[in-house]
Amino acid sequence: MAIDEITQKVSDRYARAASTGEQMCCPTSYDFADLKSFIPEEVLKISYGCGTPAGLKTVSHGETVLDIGSGGGIDCFEASRLVGPTGRVIGIDMTDTMLAIARKNAPLVATNLGYPMSNVEFRKGMADAIPVIDGAIDLIISNCVINLAPDKRKVFREMFRVAKPGGRFTISDIVADQPVPQYLVHDTDKWGDCLSGALTLTDYIAGMVGAGFLGIHLIKSSPWQVIDGIHFFSVTLTGYKLPANTPVSTVRYATLRGPFSRVVDELGTTYLRGIPQPITAETVCLLSQAPLAAQFVLSPDPLWLDRADDRWSAVYPIDAPCTWSGHFAILAGPFVEAADDDHHVYHRGEPLEICSKTLNVLEAGGYAPHFAIINRAGQSVSANSVTCAPNGGCC
């Protein structure tokens, strides 16, 4: 199916949904009771997506926010409230019906917020050709839209172009645990359902890194649908466009605190827990971003950590047999590779089958923020406890 044909069919379907009230994509978790206080019902009833714009929690007054695929404007209007009257919000969408609804309601929202005029502007445009000048945006948000774009790598490059040095993105989207087969890729209806265009998490993050973003990490994830054995799930990811000119710093070393025993960052540096690693000024900037900062001790001189140090972090598996129930763990950043204390090596975006003991480890506080967990078992598993390692232990 030609790219132009995909784009037109998706646009037509969302235009029909705006008129009929059809529910698109997957359920969101907006606090509609709160949003009703300033956003008209006409906007709320056509709000689609696969997650709430978690990135807006990081917004400061006066910032400029871009919403890719703004639809009826719900996320833009929430951003408008958070950036205040001195901030600015730009929404882009390819569907005229959506744009008309958003533009009509912008003055009403401004009045409800007590602003002298609207600080929200809606522009017609495509995600892979964003009508915004270079380096203008503090925060890019998008809610289950990029998977609808046929050329996602071009979208990621456009995002990097319009972001300010030091800017960031937080986007929600649908990804798959394995490549989507061609019979789904060419299914027109599945495009509108946020299925046909889904990338694997590996490819999705690789596209962002290829565009120049770093520090990409998971904010939240949730399962959505399983079709023909393919697991589609929602992820919310954040990443950064690091400043072009790295500030001078006295930091020369980074020591991994844990709970991982070993990690490899996006710049290719390997760290072993407790052992200081020389780092560059660019790496200092990267490791200073959330949530990387919590994983390391940065210092001007080499600093070793051991188990007696309060900064050392580890989660060890229990010494007991395990069960296998169909769980797979997917590392979702901010490292390209990581190892735990039970000989598992995780590669970002690639599902790894895990037993019950490892599941308990990864659900612990230090690990949980970095993993999406799926279950590939087709039905409930009644498994006996086993010892699965050659030495009689487990894993």
* pLDDT tens-place values along the chain, 395 residues long: 545 554 555 544 444 544 545 555 554 567 788 899 999 999 988 876 665 677 888 999 999 999 999 999 999 999 999 999 999 999 999 999 999 999 999 999 999 999 999 999 999 999 999 999 999 999 999 998 898 888 999 999 999 999 999 999 999 999 999 999 988 888 776 655 677 789 999 999 999 999 999 999 999 998 888 998 999 999 999 999 999 887 788 999 999 999 999 999 999 999 999 999 999 999 999 999 999 999 999 999 999 999 999 999 999 999 888 999 999 999 998 999 999 999 999 999 999 999 999 999 999 889 999 999 999 997 777 667 777 664 545 55
Statement to judge: residues 296 and 341 lie in one domain: no
- What crossing angle do the helices spanning 96-113 and 3-20 adopt, rounded to 10°? 50
Calculate the alpha carbon distances from 227 to 146, 197, 230 in Å: 20, 14, 5
Range of the domain at 55: 3-240
Statement to judge: residues 284 and 341 lie in one domain: no
Question: Identity (one letter) of the amino acid at 308?
Answer: A
Rounded to whole angstroms, the Cα distance separating 239 from 94 reads: 25
- What crossing angle do the helices spanning 96-113 and 74-83 adopt, rounded to 10°? 30
Statement to judge: residues 200 and 294 lie in one domain: no
* Pairs from 304-307 (Cβ < 8 Å, separation ≥ 24): 304/255, 304/274, 304/275, 304/276, 305/255, 305/257, 305/273, 305/274, 306/274
Residue 393 lies in a domain: no
Statement to judge: residues 18 and 102 lie in one domain: yes
Residue 391 lies in a domain: no
Statement to judge: residues 126 and 234 lie in one domain: yes
DSSP string, 270-293: EEEBTSEEE--HHHHHHHTSTTGG
Statement to judge: residues 62 and 183 lie in one domain: yes
Q: Sort strands 270-272 and 230-240 into parallel, antiparallel or unpaired.
A: unpaired
| Residue tagged 């990097």 (tokens) | 160
Statement to judge: residues 301 and 332 lie in one domain: no
- What pTM was computed for the model? 0.89
How distant is the alpha carbon of residue 292 from its chain centre?
15
What CATH number is given to the structural domain containing 273?
Answer: 3.40.5.100
Task: Render pLDDT for 271-292 as a digit per residue (tens, 0 to 9).
Answer: 999 999 999 999 999 999 999 9
Of 270, 291, 314, which residue sits at a domain end? 314
Residue 96 lies in a domain: yes
Task: Render pLDDT for 155-200 as a digit per residue (tens, 0 to 9).
Answer: 999 999 999 999 999 999 999 999 999 888 887 766 556 777 899 9
Statement to judge: residues 351 and 293 lie in one domain: no
Residue 63 lies in a domain: yes
Statement to judge: residues 101 and 35 lie in one domain: yes
Statement to judge: residues 334 and 265 lie in one domain: no
Our count of domains for the chain comes to 3
Longest dimension (CA), the chain: 72
Residue 56 lies in a domain: yes
Q: Sort strands 270-272 and 262-264 into parallel, antiparallel or unpaired.
A: antiparallel
What CATH number is given to the structural domain containing 75?
Answer: 3.40.50.150
Statement to judge: residues 352 and 283 lie in one domain: no
Statement to judge: residues 251 and 165 lie in one domain: no
